[in-house]
Chains A and B, each alone.
Chain A
Amino acid sequence: MDNHHKVEQSPFIKIEGLHYRYETEGGETIEALDGIDLEIRQGEYVAIIGPNGSGKTTLLKHINALLLPSAGSVTVSGLSTADEANFPEIRRQCGMIFQNPDNQLVATTVEEDIAFGLENLALPSPVIRERVAEALHILGLTGLEQHPPHLLSGGEKQRVAIAGVLAMRSRCLLMDEPTAMLDPAGQQEVLAAVHKLNRERNITVIHVTHFPEEAALAGRIVVMDRGTIVGDGPPRQLLSRLSLLHRLELQGTMAAELAALLRQDGFALNGEIIHMRELSGALCALAQKT
């Protein structure tokens, strides 16, 4: 999933000099975001990694105006979050998917849940029906229309939440650890659905994750630490820079970590291994040579 086509040149999201500060109970000022400059183009798949408390979620919440900058600016599709009149359109274009699927499902059936946002737009009912059916189809949920969301699996719940965003004709998915509470099957389901939306529908994806294996599938990785961006580049480059990751108490993928240990033991492995299949291939090639 490395090739991401149709990426436009002008930025879809433009963040300049973004600061966000708040006061703690003790009267101490916390600089949660400390000067962020970031541009994201339509169609990009960006993973944001960083330790707990580094500002990942705070940054994500600025993109759909759930939080507003203390200084600096955030512009989405040419609309500034400084103007309250832009909020509805910014939030329609950028839908948020949270960690816990149970916290974001509101209706008694899957169909109604997906229709919730559309009804708030006061769209005519045939249009709502059509959009809901389309979103269900795209997310592979057809047949579950009448199911109560709370009886679905975790992966299905997250896909319902994504379908709700898609039905709004959003152009961007903001995801805050969307698989943290899912089992491996649910995780695969959600990742496959999101990558498909990115690939086939050019939906911009910004995906906060603690799993290096998930970040490895993105087109670009942004690394955060203490409210700043300390790394920005393709996964192959970022996830093999283990010294940076380890300094932040983060990890590379298991393949990158194991390859690094083996290099210490004198194995002649190249420095860009991030997937297990690459490591097994490299080791087998090495075994044939020796």
Chain B
Amino acid sequence: MRLGTENLTYIYMPGTPFATAALKGVTIDIEPGSFNALLGPSGSGKSTLIQHLNGLLKPTSGRVLVDGRPLGNDRAELLALRRQVGLVFQMPEQQFFAESVFDEIAFAPRNLGLNEEQVKERVQWSLELVGLEGKNLQKRSPFHLSSGQKRLVAIASVLALQPKVLILDEPTAGLDPGGRRHLFSLLSRLNRREKLTVLIVTHHPEDVAALADQCLVLSGGRLALAGTPEEVFSQGEELQRLGLALPPVTCLMNELNAQGAPVPGAVFSLEQARRAINNWFGRGEEP
């Protein structure tokens, strides 16, 4: 499924003294099966934008495009979109309400009208996708899991809808480095193996720069930059002006460049940096 927006503008509390344009003429295109990162300082419109992509908010002007067609106002159409575009909010475990992990994940499939046998299969399938199937968690209270497991159960409860697009708002906030790594390898696997389109809102470009096909940068409600990680992160000064951080290894490369070292600027991961520095010292490619 291809998702996009065309000249999307959204005004909060229109017609009141508090009217604020949260999005101003934003046009984006999310390709089927792609991995996307949405960056931007707090208040730049990231959460407002993703809520348009599954029909929770309606544009003040402009359009949301689903497979190239403008999204209508029809209730059935919006419901269908919300099934296909799964949205994982910030700190999603704060919205847990069920007494067991099973019931938490079964909530959406039951709402789809599946029978209990099918619901069971969906829950099992979702837990397998996030790698929690062997942990005997189904009867446990979701409130008593570890933070990493809670986050995975929250994601599983969205995956249980079998969406084509998964959108996550700051999915690693509060996770330890092990949990972050685990989550990113999970998302990368869902993207590659299950062909799920992924869009991640994040403040940590180092997490996504090596994975993303496309980086979108919002600033003050406008799309400030869009392109491959190489295209976006090579504009260091512009990013800093927008109040965004560069991945730390990219900063290192820029610093080395400034000192006259012949290293490339478009380096985002530790392994890329390792290779670049080895090349600079004439040590060639590492095995």
Contacts and interface: CB of A to CB of B under 8 A. Distances in A.
A255 to B, nearest CB: 7
Contact of A250 (B144, B148, B178): B178
6 contacts: A51-B179, A153-B43, A182-B42, A254-B206, A258-B249, A284-B261
**Chain B CB within 10 Å, residue with most, of A51, A155, A184, A185:** A184
Contacts of B259: 280, 284
B270 interface: yes
B244 A51 contact: no
Nearest to B174: A180
A265 B252 contact: no
B43 A277 contact: no
Interface in A2-19: none
Interface of A: 24-26, 50-53, 99-100, 153-155, 177, 180-187, 210, 212-213, 248-251, 254-255, 257-258, 261-262, 265-267, 276-277, 279-280, 283-284, 286-287, 290
A284 B261 CA distance: 8
B37 to A, nearest CB: 14
A290 B277 CA distance: 14
Contacts of B245: 184
B144 A181 contact: no
A182 to B, nearest CB: 7
B281 interface: yes
Contact of A283 (B91, B248, B251, B261): B261
Interface of B: 40-43, 90-91, 140-141, 144, 146-148, 170, 173-181, 203, 206, 243-245, 248-249, 251-252, 255-256, 259, 261, 270-271, 273-274, 277-278, 280-281, 283, 286
Given A184-B203, A250-B177, A280 B255 contact: yes
**Chain A CB within 10 Å, residue with most, of B90, B178, B286:** B178
Contact of B243 (A26, A185, A266): A185
Nearest to A210: B176
- List 6 A-B pairs, minimum CB-CB distance, nearest first: A249-B178, A184-B245, A254-B248, A52-B147, A185-B243, A251-B177
A258 B274 contact: yes
B274 A184 contact: no
A182 B179 CA distance: 19
A212 B181 CA distance: 14
Given A265-B274, A276-B255, A283-B256, A213 B243 contact: no
A169 B154 CA distance: 40
Nearest to A157: B42
A262 B66 CA distance: 47
A165 B90 CA distance: 26
Contacts of B270: 254, 257-258, 261
A181 B140 CA distance: 28
Contacts of B243: 183-185
A279 B252 contact: yes
Nearest to B141: A25
B144 A255 contact: no
Nearest to A103: B94
Contact of A25 (B144, B170, B244): B144
B176 A100 contact: no
A153 B249 CA distance: 27
A249 B144 contact: no
Given A52-B179, A181-B170, A262-B274, 7 more contacts: A183-B41, A187-B203, A213-B248, A258-B274, A262-B277, A276-B251, A280-B259
**Chain B CB within 10 Å, residue with most, of A266, A283, A284:** A283
B203 A52 contact: no
A183 B203 contact: yes
A199 B6 CA distance: 50
A177 B174 contact: yes
A24 B144 contact: yes
Contacts of A183: 40-42, 203, 243-244
Given A24-B144, A182-B203, A184-B243, A51 B277 contact: no
Contact of A210 (B43, B174, B277): B174
B277 A52 contact: no
A179 to B, nearest CB: 10
